[in-house]
Structures are given as structure tokens and as C-alpha cells.
Chain A
Amino acid sequence: MSTAAPLLELEGITKRFGDLVANDSLSMSVGRGEVVAMLGENGAGKSTLMKIIYGLVRPDAGVIRMEGRTLNIRSPRDAMAAGIGMVTQEFSLVETMTVRENVALSGVGLGRIDARQHRARVEQAMERIGVDLQPERLVSTLSIGERQRVEIVKALFHDCRVLILDEPTAVLTPQDVRALFVTIERLRTSGLGVLFVSHKLREVAEISHRVVVLRRGTLVGERVTQEVGDAELAALMMGSTTASTTTTTDTDTAAAAVGLSVPATNRDASSPASPDPGARVPALSLTDVTYEVRGHPVLDGVSLQVMPGEIVGVAGISGNGQTELTGVLAGTLAASRGRVEVAGQDITRSGVGARLQAGLGRLTEDRRGSVIPQLSVEQNLVLEDLPAFTRRGVLDGAAIRRHAEELIERFDIRATPTDVIANLSGGNMQKVLLARTLARRPRALVAAQPTRGLDVGAYRYVHGRLEDLKARDGGVLVISEDLDELRSLCDRIVVLFRGRITAEVAPAEATSDRLGRMMAGEVSA
């Protein structure tokens, strides 16, 4: 083979799951010192392709070549040996192990591991990549952003020539994304090929040289990044079907994808807030809510009100109390102090059932933890509402099916009622959760990272439904690390820093720079 052979080359990769063709004869390549972005909606088959390259999924057909040499990749071990490293979309860390032990796992042998020597190497690697973490910390004590960094250190720890990043920025704050891009650039100039999976057009435009677009398992386009516009990419990625379900033009969708706020006229403003006399009772009210872990406040006297017909955003860098705030509201954590009310009803000490009864809706950060993976879509859809579907002590299958079919239709869920929910893509799973929660017509909704990891279509869709709820006089609390999301969606944005609400801004005044400084603790920013 000539030296002109690309670093990594895929040819005719095909993978079916039953009837579903997840990858349909895909061919693409990555060169030395090149960053190739792969764009595609949720469920397009991006992760499947990445897993095939890394040996986690066996393809039905196709060839993978490295510098012209055909590889036989049967497991990640083979991929690593060939110089391929990968950060998977879902975390693959052992929580009960330390950072260092997790890094050691990749391609680990059987023999003795000298902890001290290994720690020094891990520290060096982290320094090189620009990650600051204590090697002996348990992963279970790390925030989501920190865990992501461990994953990257892990993938880069071994000599790799092609690095696959499957939606690496989905969980990162803007600052972390910056740092990641600096790292990618550094690796690229050293000759590494990078395959960067994303659904954020702006990131793709910034980091990649070439873009390949995947839709429903098929490669629908390949462009040189510099020569292609956002609108064209968005249109390629979403195809005509998605575009037609939205009321906006492709350009607007593209604008949303790149995070520009969509003009207010295009918003889903179906009806103005009705002048209900009782409506001035806050939909959700927190008074001095404190949550302590071993005497140390992780949430420190949080007071906040969400009025009916209002969307309030909580901004902050992960690890500043967001997870705990969601937990205290959702009923999975017990507040140490303070008071939580939904539509005037005190739910501080209530169980989950009573909270739902009081009119609280929940959309938590951990999607997979919010469903019962082995159950079907329809079973998961009625989980929070079993009494309503029980007749004489027995579940009413026909009613459940009707309910599921209606929600699937209404929420555009791409699945059948009997599909096992674990097999749904992230976007579809989020739609199921959204349908489950909104079907109960909540008065207050707590939505944590509601669009994390979703593609443009699903992103806009989720926002549309949240705005619908607002229009129907529901109050929504959005906890998010996506500043563009907060700016385009919220009426007010508060900043959570070290467990306290340290600032409040109107979306119009919340520039990235200003919010960034507030999130870093500069109160007067």
C-alpha cells in the first residue's frame, strides 16, 4: 500500500439490529492530523459505528483499515493494539475505583501494578492534557464533568493514533469545552487523527476540518467544514421529515442548533397566561433549602420561586449543587432544612407519590435511571400513574396500550408501545420521559439537563413542550449547563455557585462571558 493511505479507513460497514439497519454500508476516512466530525440526529447510528471501530460491536459487513492495513478488530483490546482510543458516550468508569485505577484499566494486563509509579505516569498524562484531578479520588465522588475528564485521560493514556470522541461535549461546561478543544488541537498537531461525534453545529464548525453527516444509518453528506454553512448541515442532518414537523425554517433550526436564540415571534406562544386569581401562588417555591452531607452544606439556604407561566433557569458549573437540588425537589434526597412547596402545598417531607399528587413533574438528569430498562415503552409510560390504569387491582392492558399509542403519536416518539425501553436512543427515551411527566399535567416541572446529548430536532422539540407547559400556566425550573439553552428558554436565570444562589440575570443580559464569570463565583460580574 502507498503511504497515501489514510490513517483510518472504513469501507462498507453495515450493522443491523433485527429489522433496524443502524449502519448501512458506511464508508469514510480520517487522516493524520485531521479532525473529522460526524454529525447526526439521535438514533442516526453514530454510536453504533464508533463502537464497531472500537470493537464493542461486531459489524455484519465491512472492512476497517489502518494505514492501508486491514484490521481484524474483535474486541477493544484489538482496537487499542491498533492505536485506536475511544471515549464512549455513556460513562464507562468503575465508580468504586479511584481515578488512577480507572485509567489503569484500559488494556490492563494480569501482573503487578506499581501504584506509585503508575500514579506518577497518570499525573504526567493529566498535566499533558491539562486535567487537574487527584489520582487517588474515588470516581463516585466526582462530578459528571470531572468524570468525563477521567474518560479522556483514560483514552489518551495509551499511545493512540486515532481518538474517537462520542459526543464528548454533551456534559461539559463552556469552559471545559474550551479546554477540550485546546487538547484536541494539541493532539492533532502531533499527528493524531480525531473522530469527533457531535450534534452541535457550532462545535463542529470550530473544531473539524471535514464533516460527515449521518441520517438513519446512511451517510447523507460529506463536506469540508470551511466551505459549508450551518443551515446546509442542519438540513442534511435532519432531513425533510424533521424539518416539516417544526414550524420554523431550516435557518432558524440551524440557528437553534448553533445556540443563537430564536426570535421570540417564532416561539410556541399559543396562549397568553390566563388571569387566574389563584395563579399568584408560586408554582414552585423553595425557602432556605439546605442539604448537608456529613455536616457540610452542598445546598446552602437556597430560596427561589417559580411563578405559574414562568421558566426559571439555574446555571452553574457541575458539582455546585445541581444534582442535589434536583434530588431534593424530585424526592430522592431529603432536605436537611428549609421548605419546598408546589402550588402552595408543602412537599418538603413528602414521598415521591405525594409529590406527584401535588402536581410536581420531574425530568431528571439521569435518563437511564428514570426508566426501568427491561420494561416496555408503554409500561414505563404509566409507571408514575399506576392507580389510574388499575381496574379491580389488575392493570388494564388495553387502557395502557391506548394511552401509550396516544402519547407516542403526540410526542413523536419513534418506537412502538412494546419496544423494550433500554433499546431506545437517548432522544427517544427523553421523549418518553417527557410524555410521562407532561401527561400528568404538572403544575410545576423540574427539568434537569433536559436536552443533554440530544440532537437539534429533539432539542427543539423538548423546548417546545416546555414552552407549551409555560403557556398553560405551569412553572418550569430548568437546571442546565447549556447556556444557550438557558438563554433561549428562560425568563430568568439564577446562578448556583457552591450550593448558593449567588446571582440572577435576565436572559438578554446574560452574555456567555458574564454568565461564565458568575458561574466561576464572581458575584458582581
Chain B
Amino acid sequence: MSINLLAALAAMLTVATPLVWAGIGELIVEKTGVLNLGIEGTMYAGAFTGFLVALRTGSPWWGLLAAILTGVVAGLAMAVLSVTLGLNQHVSGLGLTLLLIAGCEFTFRMLYAGGRPKLDDKFDAWLSDVPVLEQHWLTYVAFLVLAPGTWWVLRSTGLGYRIHAVGENFEAAEVAGISVNATRYAALAVGGAFMAIGGAFLTLAVLGSFTLNIINGRGWVCIALVIFAKWRVWPVVLGALIFAVTDALQLQLAITTAFSDVPREVMLALPYVAVITALAVWGRKVHYPGSYLKAYRRA
């Protein structure tokens, strides 16, 4: 059997990119003690609005901007539910995901009842790859700017200290003059934007089209990654790569004859199995952020 290593590596980075964007978005949010299960819906909405706006305006840049705004709005919606109203975070997040997916699907079916719209040729410049390892610029930004940037901000800036304090101990944050709720709002807005970029990457940079089910559980994978990474940036990136390796491997294996007997579904499940295994091995004895899942109300 012959597996083209370089092709597999390139495919791996592409597969990992949306996970890195959305995973780091979720990490930022969870560092403040909020579990945002709206991630799956936010990625979906980012993918959809990004595509729709790019298609209508003819500019992927407008599409990307629309996706970012969608993510911010989705994050703020989660903030209103879980921070201001103090509702259960699981319920708020799942509700948000269901609402966003249903809303996007409805709009998509209304607009494109029959055909399957595709971005036209003038997007080629956006879709075509940068020569090195044949990656899209959003991939480079994810690995070379977003990940190290987030790591640095969390470790070495006042903002990072604030996020840490809010996520661990409300009283400590309040006594230090840090607003718990404002910090959470900001984290949800920024995290939402990153999640939406992760979704939009799929429509704008990889497929050039939108399909129902496009996110396909990637948001849930990110939730798992963040826990397995114990809320640290680099392990999230590593986890995304592990997922991507198995996914790329699975694609390469599927086209080799040696594994033609193995059902396709088993192959498709491989990356998810890999993440679950990783979670089971490294995710034990997890210290959750002290204010995880808790709402804060001032006296």
C-alpha cells in the first residue's frame, strides 16, 4: 500500500484548522468558567452566513466578516442566557446550538430549494493555496498567530490573569476589582468569533459550498479536546492534530485497496474514536475551573 505522506500531512493541517480555531475559542470561554455548548451551532452559523454573504456580495472578505459578526452575536446570546440570566449552561448552550442549526437549515432550504450553490470561479484566489505545504492563509494564522497569541495572552497579560481569576474564584476576581460578568461577556464574544471562523473556514476555504450537516460534530470534538487538554492551548492544538491525523489517515486508507473490506462507516468513525481514547487516557483526574458551570450574582 502506498500512502502519500506529504499529501496526508497537508490534508491533516487542513482538517485540523477549524478545530484549532473553534477549540481555542472554546478554551477562552471555558477559562472563564463557562461551558459553551453553543459551539456546534456557532460553527454552523459561521459556515452558513460566511458562505451566504460571500455568495451574495461576491467577496469572501465580506463573508468572513459576516461569519465573525455571527459568532460574536451567538456568543453574546449565550452570555445573556448563562451570565446575565444565570440559566443552566448546558441547557443554554444546547438550546443555542439547536436554534442556530435549525435557523440556518431553514434559511438555506428557503433560498436554495433545488440546487446546490457554489462559490464561483472568482473565489479561486481565496480558495487556491499558498505554496508552502499547500495551506490556506487561515491555517497559518491558526497555527502561527492564534495559538501562540492565545497562549501568550493567557500566560503573560493582565487580561489572561483576569480570565484565570474569573474562571477559578469569583470572590478573588471581585476583590481584585475584576468584573466577573464583563470578563465572561468578552470571552464569549471573542470565543464565538473564533468558533464561527472555524466554521466559515470549511465553506469559504475548503469546500466553496455549503452543505447541510457541514460541521458534523466538530464542535463536540472541540469540547472534548478542551477537556483533554486540561484548558491549555498547546494540547488543544495537539488534540486537533491527532484528530486530523486519524481523519487524513482514514481518507488515505479508504482509497487504498488493502482496507477495502472494512466498512466505510468504521473508517469515518476513526477520528472520533481517537479523540475519545485520548480523552479517556489523558483526561482523567481533571481539575475543572473552580467556577465551571456556575453563574455569578453580586451581593
Interface residues of A (CB under 8 A from B): 51, 54-57, 75-77, 79-80, 86, 88, 90, 92-97, 101-102, 104-113, 115
Contact = CB atoms under 8 A, between A and B. Distances in A.
Given A94-B169, A113-B156, A115-B156, A108 B161 contact: yes
A108 B156 contact: no
B171 interface: yes
Contact of A108 (B168, B176, B299): B176
B115 interface: no
Chain B interface size range:
20 to 34
B172 A105 contact: yes
B169 A92 contact: yes
B178 interface: yes
A92 B179 CA distance: 14
A266 B172 CA distance: 44
A111 B157 CA distance: 5
Given A56-B299, A93-B172, A107-B176, A113 B158 contact: yes
Given A51-B299, A95-B169, A88 B175 contact: yes
Contacts of B175: 54, 56, 76, 86, 88, 92, 106
A118 to B, nearest CB: 10
Nearest to B155: A115
Contacts of B161: 97, 101, 104-105, 108, 113
B158 A97 contact: no
A97 B176 contact: no
B164 A110 contact: no
A108 B169 contact: no
A112 B287 contact: no
30 contacts: A54-B175, A57-B299, A75-B174, A77-B177, A79-B177, A80-B177, A88-B171, A90-B171, A92-B169, A94-B164, A95-B168, A95-B169, A95-B290, A97-B161, A97-B164, A101-B161, A104-B158, A104-B161, A105-B176, A106-B176, A107-B176, A108-B158, A108-B162, A108-B176, A110-B157, A111-B159, A112-B157, A113-B156, A113-B158, A113-B161
Contacts of A109: 158
Contacts of B287: 96
A55 B165 CA distance: 18
Given A56-B299, A94-B165, A76 B176 contact: yes
Contacts of A51: 299
A194 B103 CA distance: 59
A497 to B, nearest CB: 31
Given A94-B164, A96-B287, A110-B157, A75 B177 contact: yes
Interface in B136-193: 156-159, 161-162, 164-165, 168-169, 171-179
Nearest to A87: B175
A169 B290 CA distance: 27
Pairs A-B, 10 closest by C-beta atoms? A77-B177, A105-B176, A76-B177, A92-B175, A108-B158, A109-B158, A92-B172, A92-B171, A110-B159, A94-B168
A139 to B, nearest CB: 10
B168 A97 contact: yes
Contacts of B171: 88, 90, 92
The majority secondary structure among interface residues of chain A is loop
Contacts of B168: 94-97
B177 A106 contact: yes
A75 B67 CA distance: 35
A93 B170 CA distance: 10
Contacts of A90: 171
Interface of B: 156-159, 161-162, 164-165, 168-169, 171-179, 287, 290, 298-299
A105 B156 contact: no
Contacts of B164: 94, 96-97, 101
A293 to B, nearest CB: 15
A56 B178 CA distance: 11
Given A86-B175, A96-B168, A111-B157, 9 more contacts: A55-B177, A56-B174, A92-B172, A93-B169, A94-B172, A96-B290, A97-B164, A105-B165, A108-B162
A105 B175 CA distance: 9
A113 B160 CA distance: 10
B222 to A, nearest CB: 23
Contacts of B174: 56, 75-76, 92
Contact of B156 (A56, A93, A94, A112): A112
A75 B287 CA distance: 30
Contacts of B157: 110-113
Contacts of A56: 174-175, 298-299
A109 B160 CA distance: 10
Contacts of B165: 94, 97, 105
A107 B159 CA distance: 11
Contacts of B159: 110-111
A476 B294 CA distance: 38
Nearest to B160: A113
A96 B168 CA distance: 8
Contacts of B299: 51, 56-57
A301 B159 CA distance: 47
Contacts of A75: 174, 177, 179
B97 to A, nearest CB: 28
> Counting chain B CB atoms within 10 Å of each CB, which of A77, A95, A110 scores highest?
A110
B178 A108 contact: yes
Contacts of B179: 75
A79 B161 CA distance: 20
> Counting chain A CB atoms within 10 Å of each CB, which of B165, B287, B299 scores highest?
B165
Contact of B178 (A95, A96, A102, A105): A105
B156 A107 contact: no
A247 to B, nearest CB: 38
> Counting chain B CB atoms within 10 Å of each CB, which of A96, A97, A115 scores highest?
A96
> Counting chain B CB atoms within 10 Å of each CB, which of A56, A77, A105, A110 scores highest?
A105
A197 B175 CA distance: 17
Contacts of B169: 92-95
A77 B178 CA distance: 8
Nearest to B231: A96
B93 to A, nearest CB: 22
A75 B179 CA distance: 9
Contacts of A107: 176-177
A80 B178 CA distance: 12
Nearest to B171: A92
Contacts of B172: 92-94, 102, 105
